[in-house]
Structure 1
Amino acid sequence: MRSIYTALIASGLLLSSCGKDFLEKIPQGQLGEGQVSNGEGIEAVLLGAYSIMNGNVSGTWGNYAAAPSQWIFGEITSDNAHKGSEETDQPNMNLLEMLNPNPANDNLTTMWQVYFEGVLRANTTLRLLKKDQEGAKEISSARALEIEAEARMLRGHYYFFMWRVFRNLPWIDENTPLEEAKTKPNDTDIYDKIIDDVKFASENLPVTKIKGEAGRMDRNIAKAYLGKLYLYQKKYDLALPLFQEVIAGKDLTTMPFQDNFDIDKEDGPEALLVSKHAINPNGSGDNANVGDMLSGIYAAPVSCCGFYQPTIDLVNAYKVDANGLPYLDNEYRNNPYLSDFGLTGAAKTNYQVDVTLRVDPRLDYTVGRRGVPFLDYGIMPGDAWIRSVSFAGPFVGIKTMIKESQFAGNTVSGEAYITGLDVNIMRLADVYLMAAECAVELNDLSTALEYVNAVRRRAATLPPKTVNGVPVADYQVNPYPSFPNQEYARKAVRMERRLELALEGHRYFDLVRWGIAKNVLESYSQFEGTYLPFYRGLVYNSHNDYFPIPQTEIDRSGGTLRQNLGY
């Protein structure tokens, strides 16, 4: 299947940018609207709107907060991951992790400006399309409807990403004049407008990829996304049928878990909403996975940058009981597994991985730990791959990494931490588990059990990690025999989302929408802080449901943007 980024590169519009002043006039050196007010130009502008999917306007460094993986806002703010690296590196990320950001935090500004650039590009597409349809009609009415659906789906996605972070946003669409857009207030709830965009897309996008290009929006993506929007509103009766339409006829158990994170297996049957990434033909990386580039291991063959480390709490959450089921009430924290953390002298030097540790096999396809094979790099050696173990712990992530044997053509020369690995913003297992959540809340426990167990049966097919033919853990994952009551089912679904989707950008937003962020995160802080003192004493306040509006944007609006309560 042809990738949309092949078309992006061919379009030549790849990426002129409006820079930080996303609502200002188009700068010199960029094509003006008059030059793209034709069929070919409109298609190219649409591709430019798609290009923001990778969270990047231009260059490579500095896009981390806008990463499609949402590792900064969705994971390091949660009990799943630490910022990593060293305490003095990217200190504004530390403030986010400890839920104490201020409006001057540069990560907030990046998130706001990049995704409003995406909104602007979607709006430009819609405005040019309307002009064409009222005039020359170089684009057929059938294709025009598809373009409108694509552009509105993109706009809805970009706005939803921002809504989860900032909540209170100005709504700017293709009919908003430039001068009004600059000072549009954020005093009304825009959520229904996001739903309107995505609902339109769900009714008008084709089922198959337009032009056969991977990365394009399609009807299944829009239906799943619309279901997710309803789920956030707790409209479970509206969300569940949409999820079930997407699931229908698909057997998750036949789709290998590990393929979701393999650059040679992209665009597989589980992929839904994907941010497509690629190394440019000239070897540059601005269309690559620049959002996750800091997550590379801090040693050869990657040699940068040591961020985004899994927590001790997450690793222990993968422990299972004698029945191969997870611990749902934090019992996994009893006698915690710490790898070689805290050992010294001979005990450290001679450390051997505990092959009797009873865990879900997804652990070792999510987390790198000492003594366990890590992709094709060999055995993970422990501290040698980590910048500051005492700050962020003994573990590294796997899902953002590619094999060393895949470097050629899939990394920037000399910068193997910049890869062409796609990011799954929404994949089928996520939809299964959102459907299960809806079923639980509608008290249809048998349906919820079916969906959760499909995810667990698939996990049971993961090949064990071995050294000299011996499994490095006692791998067990079994289906639940039953859900005895709604509360048990609710805990099971929530735990399954954590285990299946860990380090994929969902966790913090899940905790917030479930209304359990305060209890979970403060309890986690007490546990994690026992071993890593920096994380002790986290306090979750009600305003931590969202983050502050960037002060730069309030100033630019002349004060019409209002700061979120609590900041």
Structure 2
Amino acid sequence: MKKRNIITVLGISLMLLSSCGKSFLERDPQGELPESQVINSKGIEASLIGAYGILNGNVNGTWGNYASAPSQWLFGEVGADNAHKGSEATDQPNMNMIEFHTPNSSNDNLSTMWEVYYEGVSRANNTLRLLKLDQAGGKTVTTARATEIEAEAKVLRAHYYFFLWRVFKNLAYVDENTSVDDAKVKPNTDDVVPKIIDDLKFGIANLPQTKINKQSGRMDKGIAQAYLGKVYLYQKKYADALALFKDVIGSKDIRTMPYQNNFDVLTKDGPEALLLAKHAINPDGSGDNANVGDMLSGLNGSNPVGCCGFYQPTIDLVNAYKVDAKGLPMLDTYRNNPYKSDFGLSTAEKEKYKLDVSLRFDPRLDYTVGRRGVHFYDYGVMPGDAWIREVGSGGPFVGIKTMIPKSLHSGHTAAGAAYITDLDVNIIRLADVILMAAECQVELGDLDGALKSVNAIRERAAKLPPKLTGDDVPAAAYDVKPYPAFPDQNFARKAVRFERRLELAMEGHRFYDLVRWGEAKTVLESYANFEGGFMARYKGLNFKDHNVYLPIPQTQIDRSGGALKQNPGY
């Protein structure tokens, strides 16, 4: 794989990007400009757009942005029990270290994550600094718009710091008042969470409820509220978080918002969308503003995408979608009599393989996972091994949520690279908020409220059209029913957490959820033993306490002259 090397310095950058074409996030780098040319309304607005530009996890180019993907597929899903790295064992070997929790400080995925999101911090800071200079001088930006710009930039900065904090924990905090020289030697001893909270509170107080300029990718009050609620949830401030989540949910009815629309390139910006990474194919057909973070998840082999075979759902995840005779999740027994498609069969047996359509599954399975014998968009029936790069390393399944129909490749994929699409990525969507609210309700003892929240998600899932086989019959005995009751808090907690997995699988949340629940070691070691029964390389995972965070990139420690200190355990 090609790699992108970025050299970033913590501090203030004069990178300026301007908007073009139809999307305010289609952007062309304009280089470094004299400050006198950008302390004005046009320059500040362009600087803000540059800060938004990092939402897609990309500074430039296409290849090499995988670890900084807004979907957080590598750290959030491959690092958990939902996905394998996939591809071949020898391709992107440093990703194997993330999957098996054996990373070191020279891992290029860590450098990518650090550099890209600190670049986002730098751009947000630069916008705030330019705005302050404008307001102290010529005031080319109106007071009302200046307040909005400040709020947008601060919520962006909060997001970039939050993404960094979840991965590295110990960060150097720099803001618009930090000089370049000070930023270079700032130690990573700051607690950034209170700063994140301050920025989000400013956003809540000063952002409009509706989108600025009617541009869907913009920050708004609801996003800031949802994000602050999420930060409070990580701090176990359940009452504070729940109040914010309830404001975001309001009277919205998730049951009227089709689940599949979240992953449809034509309906990706629907009513469920909150915080999005907006993506666009450039007018010349190039894809650096597209969803380059997920490009490796393209199917491999004889299919309309042709590359790259990474990011495969685990056998464990697929079995989690099994339901009992009442249409309810098999919370403790889903691994019994495991379904593994045609994995492990001989060549002759695979030729005779036929999908068992009598198996009982939650229909969200086949909107999350591609499995043999089931229609995969308009590509035809998923044939199994022919679409998988190395079955022995990644298993028999492929992902769907990052894919788009073949009929939409023209205009929605990069020229000559159908694995680069303009499908937006949901960073926070309404179902996520509802399930976070349910967590809070459980912890606060409101089991009836939690039941109502979870059942709204399940009732929406029950409306999904069945996926079909090559014989045009339903590919499973699909069933999903609401829980009749939560008998106690422990059951409710387990049910809510399991529902988050089913609803949000392959969307980047899972590892971070396990960490904040304090379940990472228990769940991941149990998963590795189960998955290792099919693929021996997964057996024997030893998840250590320090693995809940990852090492600070050694290149950053070296550049800081030792001001940055390595995380404990690495």
TM-score (norm 1): 0.96
- Say which SS state the counterpart of residue 274 (structure 1) adopts: strand
1:496 matched to 2:499: yes
- The residue correspondences of 1:404-553 to structure 2 (distance < 5 A) are 404-467=406-469, 468-553=471-556
Q: Deviations over 1:213-261 (max 9, x none)?
A: 0100000000000000000000001000100011011010010000000
Correspondent of 1:100 among 94, 99, 102: 102
The aligned residue for residue 23 of structure 1 is none
Structure 1 unaligned blocks of 5 or more? 17-28
Q: Is the contact made by 1:13 and 1:44 (CA closer than 8 Å) also made in structure 2?
A: no
Instruction: Please give the per-residue CA displacement for 1:104-144, whole angstroms capped at 9, x wherever unaligned.
Output: 00000000000000000000000000011111111111110
Residues 1:182 and 2:196 aligned together = no
Q: Distance in 2 between matches of 1:88 and 1:243?
A: 43
* CA–CA separation in structure 2 for the residues paired with 1:470 and 1:233: 47
**Contact 1:5/1:276 (8 A) holds in 2:** no
Partner of 2:10: none
**Are residues 361 and 11 of structure 1, via their aligned partners in 2, closer, same or farther at CA, if it must alter by over 3 Å?**
closer
Unaligned runs of 5+ residues in structure 2 are 1-17
**1:116, 1:158 within 8 Å by CA — same for their partners in 2?**
yes
The structure 2 residue matched to 1:294, chosen from 275, 279, 296, is 296
- The AA in structure 2 aligned to 1:95 is M
SS for the counterpart of 2:426 is strand
Aligned to 1:53: 55
Alignment partner, residue 63 of structure 1:
65
Q: Secondary structure at the match of 2:410?
A: coil
The amino acid that maps onto 1:525 is A
Structure 1 residues 362, 12: CA separation in 2 closer, same or farther (over 3 Å shift)?
closer
* TM-aligned CA deviation for residue 190 of structure 1: 1.3
Residues 440-459 of structure 1, C-alpha deviation per residue, up to 9 Å, x if partnerless? 00010000000000000000
Shift of 1:70: 0.2
| 2:378 alignment partner, one of 349, 354, 376 | 376
Residues 104-123 of structure 1 correspond to what in structure 2 (within 5 A)? Answer: 104-123=106-125
Q: Does 1:320 align with 2:323?
A: yes
- What SS does structure 2 have at the residue aligned with 1:59? coil
1:276 equivalent in structure 2: 278
Identity between Structure 1 and Structure 2 (%)? 67
Q: 1:197 is matched with which residue? A: 199
After the TM superposition, which residues 21-420 of structure 1 pair with which residues of structure 2 at under 5 Å, given as runs? 29-299=31-301, 300-329=303-332, 331-420=333-422
In 2, the alpha carbon distance for the partners of 1:359 and 1:13 equals 43
Q: CA RMSD in A?
A: 1.3
Name the counterpart of 2:14. none
State how far apart, in whole Å, the 2-side matches of 1:297 and 1:149 are.
40
Going from structure 1 to structure 2, the CA distance change for 1:159 and 1:206 (only over 3 Å counts) comes to same
Amino acid at match of 1:496: E
Deviations 1:181-224 (A, max 9, x none): 01100112111111111111111110000000010000000000
| Offset, 1:8 | 8.6
Larger displacement relative to structure 2 (181-190 or 86-95): 181-190
Distance 2:25 2:540 in 1: 51
* 2:25–2:53 contact (8 Å) kept in structure 1: no
Whether 1:15 aligns to 2:29 is yes
SS in 2 for 1:272: strand
Letter in 1 for 2:567: N
- Report the residue type matching 2:220 in the other structure: D
| Secondary structure of 1:566's aligned partner | coil
- What displacement does 1:469 show? 3.6
Query: What TM-score, normalized to structure 2?
Result: 0.95
Q: Residue 213 and residue 12 in structure 1: after superposition, are their counterparts in 2 closer, same or farther (change >3 A)?
A: closer
- For 2:566 and 2:190, the matched residues in 1 are separated by 13
The 1-side partners of 2:183 and 2:348 are apart by 65
Task: Letter of the 1:490 partner, please give it.
Answer: R
- The farther-off stretch of 527-536 and 7-16 is 7-16
Alpha-carbon deviations, 1:258-312, whole Å to 9, x = none? 0000000021000000000010001111000000000000022111000000000
Distance 1:431 1:10, change over 3 A: closer
CA separation in 1, counterparts of 2:172 and 2:468?
Answer: 53
Structure 2 distance, partners of 1:422, 1:36, is 30
Distance 1:405 1:558 in 2: 53
Counterpart CA distance in 2 for 1:501 and 1:157 is 19
Secondary structure in structure 1 of the residue aligned to 2:311 = strand
Partners in 1 of 2:25 and 2:495 — Cα distance? 47
Contact 2:279–2:291 (8 Å) recurs in 1: yes
CA distance in 2, matches of 1:538, 1:346: 33
Helix, strand or coil at the partner of 2:312: strand
**Alpha-carbon distance in structure 1 between the residues aligned to 2:29 and 2:167:** 26
Q: CA–CA distance in 1 between the matches of 2:276 and 2:110?
A: 23
Determine helix, strand or coil for the equivalent of 1:86: coil
Cα deviation for residue 33 of structure 1 reads: 2.3
Corresponding residue SS for 1:83: strand
Contact in 2 for aligned 1:522/1:537 (Cα 8 Å): yes
8 Å CA contact 2:245, 2:433 repeated in 1 = yes
SS of equivalent to 1:378 = coil
Aligned pair count reads 551
